[in-house]
Amino acid sequence: MTHHLGESGENKAEFRFATATPDVLVGEGGTTVHYLVDPLCAKNRFGLYRLDLGPRPGGPAPHFHRTMSESFFVLSGTVRLYDGERWADSGAGDFLHVPEGAVHAFSNDSGEPASMLMLFAPGVPRAPFFEELSEIVSDGGRLSAEEWAEFYRRHDHYIA
């Protein structure tokens, strides 16, 4: 672990205002992703993202990651979170931590917008996953089973 050894602090903090333009849009009228803390800025300790989920139903199928944990903190609306055993309607302030290898999923089935924070640790870069997924969805999501499997494998995303 690196520590700051100087006599005084540095001015390196960065604001990210709630009104900032999203970094990625996944699907028309769907999910927007805000990169709050990029893993490189956090020296690969963690990555933090805000997902604003549109009112259309959707979310990833139950899956797991081999190299990272993932945590969800609901900011607003209702997000269905899956802990590998059951789905739970989760609201503002609810939290789910998913260790490496644990099956999980999420979905917004409420018909209303919802928002949540996603924390990945260690900080495996997830921006390429969100960006490629956005391209795939905008192209109609017409990948073969093999192409989907390769996409998921490259991003440590294994369907349960």
Q: What is the CATH number of the domain that holds 86?
A: 2.60.120.10
Contacts of 93 (CB under 8 A, 6+ apart): 73, 74
Using pLDDT thresholds of 50, 70 and 90, give the confidence band for residue 40. Answer: low
CA dist 96 and 71 (Å) reads 6
9 part of a folded domain: no
Residue 158 has pLDDT above 70, yes or no: yes
**Average pLDDT of span 81-87:** 97
53 part of a folded domain: yes
Q: Which comes out higher in pLDDT, residue 107 or 39? A: 107
Using pLDDT thresholds of 50, 70 and 90, give the confidence band for residue 3. Answer: low
**pLDDT confidence of residue 139:** 82
Domain count, the chain: 1
89: containing domain = 24-159
16 part of a folded domain: no
69 part of a folded domain: yes
pLDDT in tens, 46-73: 889 999 999 988 889 999 999 999 999 9
Output the CA–CA distances (angstroms, integers) from residue 76 to 47, 95, 107, 151, in the order listed: 20, 12, 14, 30
**Which pTM was predicted?**
0.87
84 part of a folded domain: yes
Using pLDDT thresholds of 50, 70 and 90, give the confidence band for residue 123. Answer: confident
Does the bond joining 122 to the residue before it have cis omega, within 30 degrees of 0?
Answer: yes
